[in-house]
Amino acid sequence: MEVETNRFGYDLIRNDVLRDLLGKDHDTILYWIGKSLARKYPVPTVEEMITFFEEANWGTLARIKEKKQEQLFELTGEWMNKSDQRCYQLEAGFLAQQVETWNNCISGATYTEKNGLILIKIETDKKDTIK
């Protein structure tokens, strides 16, 4: 029961409090908070990022495609496809910043919901290096 209680509290803050507090800028701010968190909690490998997501209760992460300038991640969680209405900009921003740090090139992320899971696409501009 403790896990459910913790999830309930987390969901209240994530889905209700933050949305009310941030208003129309909610999604954009969460994306940039995700990037900021990635700078505070850098992870050097995909495997460690997967572990970070599990420990943060953000869900189960898997990289399902990797190309030269694009990576596709799949995020699943037991709460998905139910009454949960969260956006996943926090996770998208976090992933974008980690990939940006790994490649030393500007990276951005977008996500889509499909069949009860979240697909997060990270695009990296290899010509736009970080100085």
Amino acid at 89: Q
* CA atoms of 56 and 43, how far apart (whole Å): 13
CATH number of the domain bearing residue 75: 3.30.1380.20
Instruction: For the chain, 131 residues long, give each residue's pLDDT as a single digit of tens.
Output: 444 446 777 777 877 888 888 889 989 999 999 999 999 999 999 999 999 999 998 999 999 999 989 999 999 988 876 666 789 999 999 999 999 999 999 999 999 988 888 999 999 988 878 87
Task: Reduce the DSSP state of residue 130 to 3 states and report it.
Answer: coil
- Cβ 121 vs Cβ 111: under 8 Å: yes
In 3D, which of 119, 124, 125 has the Cα closest to residue 59? 119
Q: What pTM value is reported for the model?
A: 0.89
Number of structural domains (the chain) is 1
Q: Which domain holds residue 73?
A: 2-129
